[in-house]
Structure 1
């Protein structure tokens, strides 16, 4: 029952639908009390030979009319009640997706993709089922059960009613105990389902590597173990679930036995008529549904409660990067780095120390250095994937941590070192951030990214489906399409995180020349391992062990002894040997 309290925010939101559905359920419950009364009247009238054929037809017609009315009302309440519960699914998934989009990378280190998918699908379905069927069974069982109990007690015999319902308290004790067990076991089963989802997702996304290394049997064995574990935990749920129906039917059988036995004794002793006993047994039959519904409600509500606890644990988790209060000033501004120190969460030593730089509009900043020197970390701080632990990054002289997150990120176009393409057409991938872009705009940025000719050589051109994660394209094509996607946004700051590593030197040179003409007045930050991509940067920072080891233009660094000159000469020699 805790679940209904947790969902009261939604019940308030959709109170009209729920009020309408509950009202109709009460009306249906009242109408269902009419046929047993009419049947009892008919039985007594026939046995006493006091009913004419005309009267009999009238009562039968009334029973049929009642049944048709109940049918129509059931149709309407289903639309109201289940329509509201489906809207809950939409609301929960919208909130869930919004929460995921706000989270910072550390969140995804703690939660695996398969688990998140399970919570957004299977767990939400369980909550929605409880908000629909659970409310139905709660209202219907309470209204019908109470109404039938009152009718049997007042109009027939309260002694026989109490005598017949003696097994009910015992059933309630067992149902409550089974409900608690079901809650705990279902929560464990859902966690096992998440693990199964994780294994499935990892196996499908890495199928190429699995086949390349001949790991099919090994992976199949791992998958079978996870599937077996999920199956065993669901079997524990099924064992508890299987106890509900026998308990209910045994209770109903005992109640019927007591009703027939006690009622027969009362008929023999002229305390009841045969028609009254017939009505009583029919009313007791109507009590079967409330008892079944009560147990079923405990079942689905406990499942929904366990699922909702898994969902709410994520919905209530606050993002580690807090949103700012200030709007980003209009116009292009100076980007300043004044980082005293940055340490990753749960890391012992700092990743970056003493990073100072100033980047005016229209300037290009180059980042280079050995692997693990902190280049990608610095770019992550610019995007506010993390916040600087000591110092600030400022834009328009305002710390970016004080700026509204959505507005700040709207000023950035980012191309990461591992480009991601959606399973859609090339045109749709390029226009991802600007869906209303024209075909001319798409082709223009594709030409700037030097991928236009490649696209035209494909069978369907810009309408070619790239497959999941761009499986139909080469690494260089994926990188260039990602660059085109970033250029289409026409943002003030363009960030390239080793985004040209998969293209040849000539193509890289042409793209950089295009960016110079495109980026007039725009700020460009380029992180690269291949130093030829940094030749035209206004300033280059050479990072080593999270610190600035060297800084200056390409010409200046080429004259200084150190990592930059050594690496540049090595790459020139390597290029000459390749030629």
Structure 2
């Protein structure tokens, strides 16, 4: 029953709904006790031949009235109790989603998306059932059971009631044991479902790769094993679950046996009438539900408890990156200063960046180049505070980025990442993601700057074209350019391109860069690239190698140094000439 203590904060929050819901539920339980009493009276009247049409009509009218009242109270308690449980599910789901948005990238690198989705779906449903069905079965089993037992003992026979209920302690002990087993097994079943959910998400996202490598059969086998594991663990849950009903049914049947044996004896002895015995057996029938509900209660609350434990463990994860107390809410602007002695990712001992000392004046463009794994993306992600620097500092306009709130910091930055994430919405909605109130004219203007406008017009629905999940219906270059348009629409103080022109051709690249130069005067731009033509125009270019700056200067200065940059530029120019020659041939 620990789940009810854990959810006390919510019951307190919705106390009026639960209070009146429980009141109407108890009223329904009380009303349901009246028909067996009426039946007993009618049976005794039939036995004594004192039943008249008027008396029978009176009792029938009485039953109709209590039937209508029972219907109304049943409707009200369902609305109040089950409605509150839906509110709980919505609140927990919102809390989880809000929590996800605060967690650092390091968290998502460790946790699987499918597992997080399972927490937000199956686990929350189990907790919702505990707050709805669980409260119902708890209150109904206790109040209905108590009312029936009191009625049977006070108005019929306390001796027969005591004898009939002798097997009850055995049922309580067994259901508690089953509940303990269920808690452990259901937790394992939910974990297995998380694994399966994650496998489905991975395979659907990577279906093109699976098909390209002809791994359909292999992945089907992997999925089949994961699915079988879910089935096996849920069957283990079902084996415990299936013990509740037979156990309770057997004990109820034994109670009936005791009631008939000793009740018949009391009737023969004259200490009980046939009508009273009839009412007693009807009440005993009404006691079946509280007994079954008691078994259901353990089932529901143990499932809810296991799921709530999983949700609380997730909510207990502390965000690694948080606002400092007293951090400024003013959007930063001005020169960007990188002063990083050393930086390594959490749980990694090796440095990713070392001795980084760079200043970019406001309105300038910084180009960042180097081999794969040199630290280019890390350098850009640090200014977004995806990770905090322990040995060094980044400043914007003389203010350390840790001294402003993350909301203010990220309001100053537009980011076009390597992995272009588009949402299952229209192209216009994707472009206007950071500025939902943007007009169609504004959307089209930035689309033209990103050289994607003409492509969009060729789609049947134009800007109203709905892209697939993660932009699966678009080419890599189209996704890149829509991401660029999205960043441009926000018109940020600092614009970051993380190798964001790799999927466009040279002519389109030149067009985009020229548009950027005209559009972003007096605003800072940071561009990392493998293709050096993307940074030729930069005011400052740095070359990274194993996290260190090995060359810096303008394009012309670096060419004169005859170092890595000059060698790579000559190599890429040769590739471009060969490619153009091949095209002419």
Which TM class, normalised by the smaller chain length?
Answer: over 0.9
Q: Distance in 2 between matches of 1:110 and 1:173?
A: 41
The match for 1:401 is 402
Contact residue 152 and residue 280 of structure 2 kept, 8 A: yes
1:331 is displaced (CA, Å) by: 6.1
Q: Which runs of 5+ in 2 are unaligned?
A: 581-585
Q: Distance in 2 between matches of 1:520 and 1:146?
A: 79
User: C-alpha offsets along residues 134-177 of structure 1, whole Å, 9 cap, x if unaligned?
Assistant: 11111111111111111112122211111100111001111000
The match for 1:467 is 468
Contact residue 331 and residue 408 of structure 2 kept, 8 A: no
**Is 1:40 aligned to 2:29, yes or no?**
no
SS at match of 1:525: strand
Contact residue 366 and residue 539 of structure 1 kept, 8 A: yes
Q: Which runs of 5+ in 1 are unaligned?
A: none
The match for 1:346 is 347
1:430 is displaced (CA, Å) by: 0.8
Q: Distance in 2 between matches of 1:555 and 1:9?
A: 66
Question: TM-score scaled by structure 2?
Answer: 0.97
The match for 1:66 is 66
1:330 is displaced (CA, Å) by: 4.6
- Which deviates further from its counterpart, 43-52 or 31-40? 43-52
Q: Distance in 2 between matches of 1:169 and 1:400?
A: 65
Contact residue 323 and residue 401 of structure 1 kept, 8 A: yes
SS at match of 1:182: helix
Q: State how many pairs are aligned.
A: 579
Contact residue 332 and residue 396 of structure 2 kept, 8 A: no
Q: Distance in 1 between matches of 2:144 and 2:90?
A: 31
**Following superposition of structure 1 onto structure 2, how do residues 89-488 of structure 1 map, counting pairs within 5 Å?**
89-325=89-325, 326-330=327-331, 332-488=333-489
Contact residue 368 and residue 527 of structure 2 kept, 8 A: yes
User: C-alpha offsets along residues 484-539 of structure 1, whole Å, 9 cap, x if unaligned?
Assistant: 01111111111100000111112111111111111112111111111111122121
The match for 1:507 is 508
1:472 is displaced (CA, Å) by: 2.2
Question: TM-score scaled by structure 1?
Answer: 0.98
- Which deviates further from its counterpart, 76-85 or 368-377? 76-85
Q: Distance in 1 between matches of 2:267 and 2:154?
A: 17
Q: Distance in 1 between matches of 2:334 and 2:141?
A: 66
1:360 is displaced (CA, Å) by: 2.6
Contact residue 336 and residue 360 of structure 2 kept, 8 A: yes
SS at match of 1:243: helix
The match for 1:8 is 8
Contact residue 422 and residue 471 of structure 2 kept, 8 A: yes
- Which deviates further from its counterpart, 64-73 or 184-193? 64-73
Contact residue 343 and residue 389 of structure 1 kept, 8 A: no
Q: Distance in 2 between matches of 1:455 and 1:518?
A: 21
Contact residue 333 and residue 412 of structure 2 kept, 8 A: no
Q: Distance in 2 between matches of 1:52 and 1:329?
A: 87
The match for 2:77 is 77
Q: RMSD of aligned C-alpha atoms?
A: 1.3
SS at match of 1:127: helix
SS at match of 1:567: helix
The match for 1:519 is 520
SS at match of 2:293: helix
The match for 1:537 is 538
SS at match of 2:157: helix
- Which deviates further from its counterpart, 319-328 or 272-281? 319-328
